[in-house]
Amino acid sequence: MEVTFAVLLWGVRIAFLVLLYLFLIRAFAALWRAMRVEEAVAAKPTGLAFLVVQKSHSGGPRSGARLPLRALTSIGRDAGNDVVVNDDAASSKHALVSFRDGEWWVEDAGSTNGTVVNGTRITAAERLHYGDEILIGRVAMRLEQ
């Protein structure tokens, strides 16, 4: 009787270690899978959405180009911007496009000539829908998925 209890007890103790490792292996596997997905995502250069250039001019981004947007994208003439609009009428820091709580928003970053959405110059942050057109300097871009 004594022996059986000791054997049982060791069985439980070993079972604890086995479960611990089972959990660890599952957790490692989940981590591994997540990293695989991460590599796949990093491999293809996609944005959350795109600004598709509708109208441009020589020196600016070419018409039809799909510029990828991140959660926060700065637009302007300066090379440090995420989307560079090489146009004399654009300011060096012109506008900010952001994705907040599932909605796209655009706001002017204090530009000289202003940011125009669907033909109206904006004064405050403006909600963007897919298909809306932004005019920065002389470059027109449309928000697409």
Partner 1 sequence: MIRMQPLRRFGELRLLVLVALLLVTGFVAVVATELASFAPVQPVVPLLFIALAVALHLFLVTIGFRGDQLLLPLMLALTAIGLIEVERLASNLLLQQLSWCVVAAGVFVVAILVPRDLSVLARYKYTWALLGIALLLSPLLPGLGREINGARIWIGVGFAQFQPSEAVKVLLVIFFASYLDEYREVLTMKRLGPLPLPPVPYLLPIILMWGMAMVVMVFEKDLGATLIFFGIFLAMLYLATGQTSYTLLGALLLFGGAYLAYRSFGHVAVRVDTWLEPFAGDTRFSSGYQLVQGLFALGNAGLLGAGLGGGLPERIPVVWSDFVFDAFTEETGFLGGAALLALYLVLVFRGMIIALRAPTTFLQLLAGGLSFIIAFQTLVIVGGNARLIPLTGVTLPFIAYGGSSLVANFLIVALLLRVSDVTARVRGPA
- Residues near partner 1 (CB under 8 A): 8-10, 12-17, 19-24, 26-28, 30-31, 34-35, 37-38, 41, 48, 70-72, 99-102
Closest separation in Å from C-beta 139 to partner 1: 25
Closest CA to 33 of 10, 67, 102, 41: 41
CA distances from 112 to 23, 51, 63, 102, 129 (A): 59, 22, 24, 30, 25
The helix (H) or strand (E) run that includes residue 80 is: none
Smaller CB distance to partner 1: residue 1 or 12?
A: 12
- Rank residues 48 and 125 by Cβ distance to partner 1 and give the closer one: 48
Amino acid letter for position 83: V
CB of 22 to partner 1, least distance (A): 6
Task: Quote the least distance from Cβ 39 to partner 1, whole Å.
Answer: 11
Shortest Cβ distance from residue 20 to partner 1 (Å)? Answer: 5
Nearer to partner 1, 22 or 121 (CB): 22
Do 143 and 130 touch, CB atoms closer than 8 A? yes
Q: Are 82 and 104 in contact (CB under 8 A)?
A: no
Q: Which is nearer to partner 1, 31 or 125 (CB)?
A: 31
